[in-house]
Structure 1
C-alpha cells in the first residue's frame, strides 16, 4: 500500500437543486447514463481511469453548508479543449474562465454548469505522458 496520503482523484461531487435536470444534463454531456443511483444521488464513471462524478440533490447538503461552488476547481483532461469548451457552452453552461494557455502543453478553461458548479477542463501534456501517449 502506498504511503501517500492522497492517491488520486476518486470522486468529485456536485450539488444540484434540480437533481433530475442535473442528471439529464450530465448524461447528455458525457454520452452515458449514471452507473449507480440512489434517491438524490447519481454517479457516473468517466475517463481513462473511471473517475467518478457524483451528483447530489442539494436537499441532502449537511446542515449549515453551502451547496455551491466553494473555491476549488477540479480539472478534467480533454483532448480538444476548444471543442469541449464550446460544447459545454452550447449545453447551457456559462463561462467562468475562458481558455487560457498556462505553458507549453497546458491549457485550462472552466464553466459554471446550469446548477452552479464550477467544471474545469484542461489539456495537460503530463496526463498524456502518464498514459504513455506522446503529443503529435
Structure 2
C-alpha cells in the first residue's frame, strides 16, 4: 500500500538558520528539534531539515512516499532501473527510510512509519 508523499526533507548546512526561516513560512515552531533533524507539521505535511543529508548524497529537497513495505518497494524500484542513494535504515523507534535515484537523476524517498 502507498499513502502518497507525506514528507519532504530539505538538506541544510546551517540548521539553526534554516530552522528560523522555515518557522516563518510554517507559521510556528517545530514539533521535533534535534541536532540531527528538525521537523515541522504543516497542514498534515511533514517538512524536515536534515543537516546530514548532503553526506548521504541528498542535495535537493526530497519527497518521501509513505509505504507499508519499504524493503519490497525499494527492491521494486531497483529492479526498474533506479540506483540506491541510501539503503533501508531505521532512523529511530522503528521508522524506516530509504532513497533511490531514478534514471533522470531525481531522488525518490521512501518511509515506512513505525508499526
Of the two structures, which has the highest relative contact order with CA contacts closer than 8 Å and spacing of 6 or more? 2
Which structure has more strand as a fraction of its residues?
2
Q: Which structure has the greater CA radius of gyration?
A: 1
